[in-house]
Amino acid sequence: MLYYKCWLESKSRFVTGLLATTGVCAFWTLGHTWINDQWRKDLIEHPDWNNPDWFLRAMNDYPFYLHHFVYAEMFQKLWVVFAVLLGIGGLMREASHGTAGFTLSLPVGRLDLIGVRATVAAVQLFTMNVLALALIVCLSNVMGLTYPLAHGIAHSALLFFGGIVFLAASLCVSEFVEGEHTPALIGLGGVGLLYFVMQPYVDGLPVSGFAIPFSVPKLMAGSPDFSIAEIDWLGMTASLTAASIFMLLAIRRTRRHDY
Amino acid sequence: MRQHLALQTAYAIETDGLTKHYGSFEAVCDLTMRVAKGSITGFLGQNGAGKSTTIKMLLGMIRPTRGQARVLDFNAINEKESIEMRKRVAYVAEDKRLYDYMTVRQIIGFTKSFYPNWRTDIEKRLLDDFRLPLDRATKKLSKGMRTQTALLLALARGAEFLILDEPTEGLDPVVTEKVLQLVVGAAADGATVFFSSHQIAEVEQVADRVLLIDKGQLVLDSPIEAISQDYRRIRCVYDEPPPLSALKLDGVKRVAVEGRVVSVLASHNAHEIAGQMGKFAYGHRVETFPMTLKEVVLESLKRD
């Protein structure tokens, strides 16, 4: 029943996240023909425009187009935002709501409480990935386009395992910071800092050393032409290690804190 | 579990030197107390006296700075034992907040799942008595209804031990009376009840023992009956008050000297104390007055 409680607690965030992420996927899939037509018109009408590197390839390579706008951009950012939001909660939040006493009087361990919360959030994020991919494949077929399923599965997996660190960080912040909205603000502030301040800077650097923590978006996106050999294993290990550290800190805090 | 059964005592709560510090602030200080199984014990104290902190330590929500606590013979400080203990204990928190995102029906179903001995008969009876709207979200319940829901969730657990933190706080007199009757009913069914309050009259009405805590320290531990039977205020007007050392007798809880008037609060042994005071009275009369729980509590809370 702890799963049921976590589900009730987070279902509105999950449903919102599901609508937002599938909406983005639907937009870029259904809009492909129209967007491509506009690009071709622009190319003819404005031959002098300095187009970015990806532009010509995105016009002619549908999997690349989807990778560029979905897995490396809009879907990824939304997914990360909802990873943070789904990680918010726990005993500190319950303490500020006045329900921690009720929860802690139940015959369950604190480890179970945080474990169930992490599991439910991870399953919700995984579901977002699966439904987004299913939608992309189905709508591509409707539009007469082909999107290789293996490509989508690989990118969904990269996004999930590379980005699970955001969920772990959010769970951790929630266990340390009191208040209804403060942990969410801190989490989303961190994501904003990473994507809009650090990322443009890191994009110009080789992905190594100190830059690894700031290159999670790159890690989650992977290469447009996915191959096992191109997976950034060092980055993936660093990201999963960071996720484990965040989880351990959250567990330690949950077990020791006075509520 | 076998070891646990072998160690069973007559106490629902046993604490030894239980202490909780928050930085330099001592919320609970060296608290040693016993609560007998089968009793209704009122845990009195002013706001901030340490009642809730003590209860939270007993339930494993707060880790003591030092000291020991056993609840139903389980070590309350050990997490595994605390979980076992919580299968047998029902708790109603001070603020009685429930999960906002659940309806009354959902929270009953949720709570029920943790307790194999859930009393469906009690659940149905209290739902009828309280007329709780099953499909209303708990956030839309009035404070009285929230308290009643919290009590239903506690009483239907079929628990051996009820710990209630200010169960009547903020309730109107009608609901307060209902709550107190439920407490008495639970005890009649064999449960031990430990409830905190700062309402002396409530404690007097339902409890058979009173514990009083002040600034984290236990200042009174007495059966309610003993308050009227044994507690006395003994007063005498002297020409020359006797030396305080002459009044260091068994049963003397407090001595107050105001000018020529010496007043002694005695927990027992009033006859001998009055006799001793009479030795210095030289013709003045030594008066002995019975005391109410309220007077004893107020005397016990007076600062030196």
Q: Alpha carbon of A127 to those of A124, A147, A152, B40, B68: distances in Å?
A: 5, 20, 14, 51, 47
Decide: A213 and A238 in contact? Cβ < 8 Å: yes
Question: Average of pLDDT values for B88-100?
Answer: 92
A8: which 2 tokens?
Answer: 């009730």
The pLDDT assigned to B214 comes to 93
Give the nearest partner residue to B59 out of A97, A98, A104, using CB atoms. A104
Quick check: B21 contacting A, CB < 8 Å?
no
Would the pLDDT of A53 be above 90? no
What is residue A67's DSSP assignment? Answer: I
Quick check: A206 contacting B, CB < 8 Å?
no
- What is the helix (H) or strand (E) element at residue B92, kind and residue range? strand B89-92
By CB atoms closer than 10 A (0-12, 13-18, 19+), residue B146 is buried
Could you tell me which of A221, A115, A206, A203 has the C-alpha nearest to residue A161? A221
Would the pLDDT of A206 be above 90? no
- B30-41 residues labelled b (16+ CB within 10 A) or e (exposed): ebebbbebebbb
C-alpha–C-alpha distance, residues A32 and A53, integer Å: 19
State whether A97 and B79 contact (CB < 8 Å).
no
State whether A256 and B63 contact (CB < 8 Å).
yes
Question: Where does the pLDDT of residue A202 fall: very low under 50, low under 70, confident under 90, or very high at 90 and above?
Answer: low
Give the nearest partner residue to B99 out of A99, A101, A108, using CB atoms. A99
The pLDDT assigned to A130 comes to 97
Question: Average of pLDDT values for B291-300?
Answer: 90
Half-sphere exposure of B105 (CA within 13 A, CB side): 4
Q: Residue A167 carries which side chain, given as an amino acid letter?
A: L
Decide: A128 and A18 in contact? Cβ < 8 Å: yes
Question: Where does the pLDDT of residue A203 fall: very low under 50, low under 70, confident under 90, or very high at 90 and above?
Answer: low
Nearest Cα residue in chain B from A259: B61
C-alpha–C-alpha distance, residues B153 and B99, integer Å: 13
Higher pLDDT, B283 or B90: B90
Q: Count of CB atoms within 10 A of residue B244's CB? A: 11
pLDDT tens readout for residues B200-241: 989 999 999 999 999 999 999 999 998 888 899 999 998 887
Quick check: A3 contacting B, CB < 8 Å?
no
The pLDDT assigned to A165 comes to 95
State whether A1 and B91 contact (CB < 8 Å).
no
Decide: A122 and A164 in contact? Cβ < 8 Å: yes
* Residue found by looking up tokens 């409480």 in the block: A113
pTM (predicted TM-score): 0.85
The pLDDT assigned to A66 comes to 94
The pLDDT assigned to A177 comes to 93
State whether A101 and B93 contact (CB < 8 Å).
yes
Q: Residues 28..87 of B with a Cβ closer than 8 Å to A: which?
A: 56, 59-63, 79-80, 83-84, 86-87
C-alpha–C-alpha distance, residues B243 and B240, integer Å: 9
Q: How far is CA A10 from the centre of its chain?
A: 16
Beta bridge partners of B11: B36
Whole-number mean pLDDT of chain B?
90
State whether B61 and A259 contact (CB < 8 Å).
yes
Would the pLDDT of B79 be above 60? yes
Question: Average of pLDDT values for A89-107?
Answer: 93
The pLDDT assigned to A211 comes to 55
Q: Count of CB atoms within 10 A of residue A111's CB? A: 12
Q: What is the edge-to-edge ordering of all strands in the sheet holding B161-165?
A: B89-92, B161-165, B192-197, B40-44, B209-214, B217-223
Question: Average of pLDDT values for B61-70?
Answer: 96
DSSP-assigned letters across all residues of B166-183: STTTT--HHHHHHHHHHH
The CA-based diameter of chain A, rounded to the nearest angstrom, is: 70
First to last CA, chain B: 47
Beta bridge partners of B33: B15
Q: Count of CB atoms within 10 A of residue B94's CB? A: 18
Would the pLDDT of B248 be above 50? yes
The pLDDT assigned to A56 comes to 84
Quick check: B116 contacting A, CB < 8 Å?
no
The pLDDT assigned to B2 comes to 46
Handedness of CA A81, A82, A87, A90 (dihedral sign): positive
A122: which 2 tokens?
Answer: 């991870």
Would the pLDDT of A188 be above 70? yes
Q: Nearest-CA distance from B89 to chain A in Å?
A: 8
C-alpha–C-alpha distance, residues A156 and A70, integer Å: 10
The pLDDT assigned to A102 comes to 94
* Residue found by looking up tokens 């937002």 in the block: A20
Q: Residues 131..190 of B with a Cβ closer than 8 Å to A: which?
A: 150, 153, 165
Question: Average of pLDDT values for A123-146?
Answer: 95
Q: Nearest-CA distance from A63 to chain B in Å?
A: 41
Decide: B76 and B58 in contact? Cβ < 8 Å: yes
Give the nearest partner residue to B86 out of A4, A5, A105, using CB atoms. A105
Report chain A residues whose CB lies below 8 A from the CB of B113: 1
Residue percentage of chain B with pLDDT more than 90: 65
Quick check: A148 contacting B, CB < 8 Å?
no
